[in-house]
Amino acid sequence: MQINKVAVIGAGTMGAQIAMVCALKGYDVLLNDIEESSLAKARESLAGHMNRRIEKGKLTEQEVEAAFGRMSFVTDLNAVKEADFVVEAIVEKLDVKRELFSKLDTLTNDHAILATNSSTIVSSKIADATSRPANVCNVHFFNPPLVMELVEVVKGPHTSDETAKTAFDFIQTLGKTPVLLKKEISGFIANRILGKLTDEAVFLLENGYATHEEIDVVCKKALNHPIGPFALMDLTGIDVNYFVRSQRYQETGDEADKPAALIQEKVEKGELGRKTGKGFYEYSS
């Protein structure tokens, strides 16, 4: 299947950059958000990223201008009707995502693939909100999408082989490295492994074996990780970690899945990481 037009729904941390990645590779891209302010913020932030790339000689002014020329920033969802591939990157709430997919189902052409960028929700929880489950899958980009190369493509039991292949090939055309999960599992691969690592890091900190700085140094210098688990939580948002764990705890009822007290305390204090200026580390603006 030929993909010409891409729609990205949700212009936040992930959606804005996913849209830019697509536009830089020559796709016509529609970036949609319910909030005009999110679209304005996305445009400004992307302009900043692109200017830095121009200054570093990674992109030319013409390339950036052409990419922005291929993008439209809209609040009207009706504009998705031309899209061949839709990436949903809205708030991580199942009922909101299901409502959106049901609307996308009626608004887009029958052939369009509807993919979710959710970091935890498998597409089988969403696909039946549409009349075309075979065209629904996960494409999980990593933060920040402009930089991170890997994208997990996840085939649900409802996803057709053709959809999985088209999604996989599409991700390759973005210059990214897709990995296909042939069966769906919540958290996919990277976050499941990272989750175990983070839990252990928090356990060591909470029980006074070492400081967060020391644990981060060990992960960097002994395990060769580019960033330690605490610095990474600050980057993605400690509230994101808390939210994911709370959801899992709700689902399983297993005490082992309960968010750590330390994480809960940080969230209650509003120390969410870089976005609030303080998490495990402090950040000047």
Residues lying near ligand NAI in the complex (CB under 6 A): 9-15, 32-35, 38, 89-92, 96, 100, 117-119, 141, 143, 236
The nearer residue to ligand NAI, 207 or 250, going by C-beta atoms, is 250
Cα–Cα distance measured from residue 165 to residue 152, given in angstroms and rounded to the nearest whole number: 13
Write down the least CB distance from residue 65 to ligand NAI, Å: 25
The nearer residue to ligand NAI, 63 or 257, going by C-beta atoms, is 257
The nearer residue to ligand NAI, 54 or 189, going by C-beta atoms, is 189
The residue annotated as part of the active site, out of 118, 123, 135, 191, is 191
Write down the least CB distance from residue 180 to ligand NAI, Å: 17
Write down the least CB distance from residue 2 to ligand NAI, Å: 26
The residue annotated as part of the active site, out of 32, 117, 135, 152, is 152
The residue annotated as part of the active site, out of 32, 123, 140, 241, is 140
Q: Which residue is nearest to ligand NAI (CB)?
A: 12
Query: Which residues touch 285 (CB under 8 Å, ≥6 apart)?
Result: 277
The nearer residue to ligand NAI, 143 or 246, going by C-beta atoms, is 143
Write down the least CB distance from residue 285 to ligand NAI, Å: 19
The nearer residue to ligand NAI, 115 or 202, going by C-beta atoms, is 115
8 Å CB contact between 166 and 113:
yes
Write down the least CB distance from residue 60 to ligand NAI, Å: 28
152 is catalytic: yes
How many residues would you count in the chain? 285
Q: How remote is the C-alpha of 240 from its chain's centroid?
A: 11
140 is catalytic: yes
Write down the least CB distance from residue 141 to ligand NAI, Å: 6
Give the chain as a 3 state SS string. CCCCEEEEECCCHHHHHHHHHHHHCCCEEEEECCCHHHHHHHHHHHHHHHHHHHHCCCCCHHHHHHHHHCEEEECCHHHHHHCCEEEECCCCCHHHHHHHHHHHHHHCCCCCEEEECCCCCCCHHHHCCCCCHHHEEEEEECCCCCCCCEEEEECCCCCCHHHHHHHHHHHHHCCCEEEEECCCCCCCCHHHHHHHHHHHHHHHHHCCCCCHHHHHHHHHHCCCCCCCHHHHHHHHCHHHHHHHHHHHHHHHCCHHHCCCHHHHHHHHCCCCEHHHCECCCECCC
The residue annotated as part of the active site, out of 119, 123, 135, 138, is 119
131 is catalytic: no
The nearer residue to ligand NAI, 10 or 228, going by C-beta atoms, is 10
Catalytic residue numbers read: 119, 140, 152, 191
